[in-house]
Amino acid sequence: MAAKATMADIAKQLGISRAAVSYALNAQPGVAADTREAVLKLATDLGWHPSASARALTGSDIKVIGLALSRPTDTFAVDSFFFEFLAGVESVLVERGWSLLLRVIGDLPEVEIETYRRWWGEGRIDGVILVDERHRDERIAAVEEIGLPAVLCGGPRKGIELPCVWTDQAGDAALIVEHLSGLGHRRIAHVSGPRDFVHERGRQRGVRTAAARHGISVTTIEGTYAPGDARAAVDQLMSEPDPPTAFIFSNDHMSVAGLQQLRALGKSVPTEVSVVSWDDSPLTQAVEPQLTALFRDNQAYGRQAAEALLGLVAGQHPSLVAVARSQLRERSSSGPIG
> Residue 308 has what pLDDT?
95
Q: State the Cα–Cα distance between residues 116 and 128, nearest whole angstrom.
A: 8
Instruction: Report, as ranges of residue numbers, the positions in the chain whose pLDDT lies below 50.
Output: 1-3, 50-60
> Residue 100 has what pLDDT?
97
> Residue 53 has what pLDDT?
40
> Residue 61 has what pLDDT?
63
* Residue in 324, 309, 325, 333 with CA at minimum distance from that of residue 93: 309
Q: At what angle do helices 18-25 and 7-14 cross, to 10 degrees?
A: 110
CB contact set of 180 (below 8 Å; sequence gap of 6+): 188, 216, 246, 248, 274, 276, 334
